[in-house]
Amino acid sequence: MLVSAKEMLQKAKAGHYAVGQFNINNLEWTKSILLTAQEMDSPVILGVSEGAGKYMCGFKTVSAMVKAMIEELNITVPVALHLDHGTYEGCYKCIEAGFSSIMFDGSSYPIDENVAKTKELVKICAEKGMSLEAEVGSIGGEEDGVVGMGECADPDECKAIADLGVDMLAAGIGNIHGKYPANWPGLSFETLAAVQEKTGEMPLVLHGGTGIPDDMIKKAINLGVAKINVNTECQLSFAAATRKYIEEGKDLQGKGYDPRKLLAPGAEAIKATVREKIELFGSAGKASE
């Protein structure tokens, strides 16, 4: 069932586990993630970046596909359809397209403008029953062409944004998108603890979940992270499984070229990655609790 992310994240925060946001790129991705969440009785968030939304022929196409799939596959666990790193304009497009959740990434605006725009979106989301994620302090790495340096958020700025009534807050704590470089210093737990202290019950979001060691993930959850974004890891699993299939010449055997066969190992690999993350985040079995 399609729901806002508000309730599932409040429960996660109270229960000291995190809900995974898995980004989708096409039908196979969406199907693999939904089926795995259902199988594991876990709430789940489907993330859609503006680039992926464009690739999938627009947010309306994505919204229609996800809603139909939830119905046709009998998905009963809570599912949120969430815009990832939305621009101001992109947020409005997703509100109109029937998403249940949006992230407004105002981190590139001066704090005053970030606050003004977030305030406006808080009001609209409350009216529509949607959840809203805000960001303070840019996340490092590359996201749709924008390169952030992985700075740490100012806890007072986090409090200012949290007080506006957003449902979840992404605070930069040294995390980055994509693969982590070998010389990455790790997450700043001091920043996370300071942000948590200022924002209290606010579910915190950890972006760039790919490649963060498991013990750091667990520590972050203990310190108040209730949503973890995973994107690159599913892409790497899908690519590796597809590469193996082709390198073994399986596409040349019988009807191995049939897309339903050619894409099957990749789809299974996504399921395995999602299963592993749901276990690590501790959200398995929580949907029906």
Residue ranges for the binding site for Zn(2+)? 85, 105, 135, 177, 207
What is the number of the residue whose Cβ is closest to Zn ion? 207
Whole-angstrom distance, CA of residue 266 vs CA of residue 235: 9
Pull the structure tokens for residue 243: 């590469």
Pull the structure tokens for residue 191: 């920043």
Phi, psi of 132 (to 5 degrees): -130, 130
Q: Between residues 2 and 103, which has the closer beta carbon with respect to Zn ion?
A: 103
SS3 assignment, position 227: strand
DSSP state letter for 248 = T
Q: Give the nearest distance from C-beta 172 to Zn ion in angstroms.
A: 10
Q: Which residues are annotated as a binding site for dihydroxyacetone phosphate?
A: 178, 208-210, 229-232
Whole-angstrom distance, CA of residue 202 vs CA of residue 193: 13
Q: Between residues 31 and 207, which has the closer beta carbon with respect to Zn ion?
A: 207
84 is catalytic: yes
CB 143 within 8 A of CB 103: no
Q: Between residues 150 and 265, which has the closer beta carbon with respect to Zn ion?
A: 150
Which residues are at the interface with Zn ion (CB under 5 A)?
207
Nearest Cα neighbor of 267 from 21, 26, 19 is 26
Q: Between residues 33 and 70, which has the closer beta carbon with respect to Zn ion?
A: 33
DSSP state string for 104-126: E--TTS-HHHHHHHHHHHHHHHH
CB 212 within 8 A of CB 184: no
Q: Give the nearest distance from C-beta 264 to Zn ion in angstroms.
A: 29
Q: Give the nearest distance from C-beta 235 to Zn ion in angstroms.
A: 14
For 248-287, where are the alpha helices, taking DSSP H only? 259-262, 264-281
Q: Give the nearest distance from C-beta 43 to Zn ion in angstroms.
A: 19
Query: Out of 41, 84, 154, 214, which one is annotated catalytic?
Result: 84
Q: Which residues carry out catalysis?
A: 84
